[in-house]
Amino acid sequence: MEEKRYLFTSESVTEGHPDKVCDQISDAILDDILSKDSNAHVACEVTATTGLIHVMGEISTECYCDIESVVRKVVCDIGYDNAACSFNGHTCGLITSIDMQSPDIAMGVNESLEMKNGATDADDQIGAGDQGMMFGFACDETPEKMPLTISLAHRLAKKLAQVRKSGELSYLRPDGKTQVTVEYQGYTPVRIDTVVVSTQHDPDVSLEQIRQDILEHVIRPVCPENLLDGNTKYYINPTGRFVIGGPVGDAGLTGRKIIVDTYGGVGRHGGGAFSGKDPTKVDRSAAYAARYVAKNVVAAGLAHRCEVQLAYAIGVAHPVSVMVDTFGTGTVSDTVLAEAVKKVFDLRPTAIIRDLDLRRPQYRPLAAYGHMGREDLDVAWEKTDRVEALRAAVEA
């Protein structure tokens, strides 16, 4: 029977999108603190609107973080550094509302239920910082084992920022969004159906010029030529004008682009955001671990597609469940794979933090253009160093 043909779409946003501005500030504050106190507990949220940034959350640390300097540097680095962009990191207002982490939460994080019950294994030390479920996904559509739709959307968004910052298209401003629709046959991409790019710009450039330049300098260098055809549709600034953007155009909020941060809607999402959270928060660390597991399963040739779910109880070190779903593409049953995963990967928070080196500052670059598939940043959860161990566990 012929495999079903269908369309699937993913979106990305540039670093100047108001929600991404907030994500980057949250993670820059986390990085600054981790550079001085690797054991700090950080949960930092940011909102941004016209002329104002508000930093809030719970932070327990022995170091000093100059939050104002961090915030203003991030905003200016993004490109909001003059009044012409309607938002200026040098002069915007800044409010901070920071408390310490609740002792009720810290009690379960600092000493897990297992340790309280007499466990002596050092990797049982830390309990999960909250209950919840986290998902990881991988597939063989791209070299980095990511869905093609989100991979292309991120590359288009990064290209927008690149041509703006290099001066190649000097009239561009920081805010922007991209979207790619791919036609699939089964799980195989066969063509790009639609590309959408909306970019903030100076007021005196014509729409005709923008559309010509974005097609030539952004879309064609990024999208594989063999997937484009005469029926591919391009929507470039379809409203006709995008001068007002960033936090002036829309209020920004940390953690509001979780699908952009992960797999573009392919697979499921546990709901927890990443940015501004130290690695004792399993919303972040276990999501990275789940991606690490799924990518190694696919890289080992054990499945063409793999989704992993992990679930935790607050204050408990061991996950309460580990699920593997290969969507019928696995070389062995999902049950066998799940047992192999549990043998090869230690999914307790202490072990995840150690194995993925999560206590070092590395998070601000992840806050734009995705946390997964980032082989350009050499993050540990993108390594495929458990391939042989997985194969051996499956054979056993």
Q: Which of 242, 291, 371, 393 is catalytic?
A: 242
Structure tokens at 66: 């100059």
Q: Which of 11, 32, 283, 307 is catalytic?
A: 283
Does 368 qualify as catalytic in the annotation? no
Does 15 qualify as catalytic in the annotation? no
Does 158 qualify as catalytic in the annotation? no
Q: Which of 8, 11, 15, 17 is catalytic?
A: 17
Structure tokens at 7: 């369309």
Does 357 qualify as catalytic in the annotation? no
Q: Where are the alpha helices (DSSP H) in the chain?
A: 18-34, 67-78, 103-110, 113-116, 148-165, 207-214, 220-222, 246-249, 258-261, 282-299, 334-344, 349-355, 387-395
Q: Which of 145, 159, 257, 348 is catalytic?
A: 257
Does 277 qualify as catalytic in the annotation? yes
Q: Which of 145, 277, 305, 386 is catalytic?
A: 277
Q: Nearest CA to 175 among 260, 258, 80?
A: 80
How far apart are alpha carbons 297 and 180 in whole angstroms? Answer: 27
Structure tokens at 150: 């989100």
- Beta-bridge mates of residue 23: none
| C-beta neighbour count of 13 within 10 angstroms | 24
What is the SS3 string spanning 144-164? CCCCHHHHHHHHHHHHHHHHH
Q: Which of 8, 11, 15, 20 is catalytic?
A: 20
Q: Which of 250, 334, 339, 346 is catalytic?
A: 250
Backbone angles phi and psi of 101, in degrees to 5: -60, 140
Does 283 qualify as catalytic in the annotation? yes
Does 343 qualify as catalytic in the annotation? no
Q: Which of 8, 11, 15, 19 is catalytic?
A: 19
Does 383 qualify as catalytic in the annotation? no
Please list, residue by residue across 50-78, b when 16 or more beta carbons sit within 10 angstroms of its beta carbon and e when fewer do.
Answer: eeebbbbbbbbbeeebebeebbbebbeeb
Does 291 qualify as catalytic in the annotation? no
Does 19 qualify as catalytic in the annotation? yes
Cα distances (Å, whole numbers) of residue 189 to 132, 229, 263: 33, 13, 16
Alpha-carbon torsion, ordered 65, 67, 70, 72, to 10 deg: -160
How far apart are alpha carbons 207 and 236 in whole angstroms? Answer: 9
Does 193 qualify as catalytic in the annotation? no
How far apart are alpha carbons 21 and 117 in whole angstroms? Answer: 43
* H/E stretch holding 321: strand 321-325
Q: Identify the DSSP state of 277.
A: B
**117 neighbors 277 (Cβ within 8 angstroms):** no
Amino acid occupying residue 52: L
CA-derived radius of gyration, the chain: 22
Does 281 qualify as catalytic in the annotation? yes
Active site residues: 17, 19-20, 45, 58, 177, 242, 250-251, 256-257, 277, 281, 283
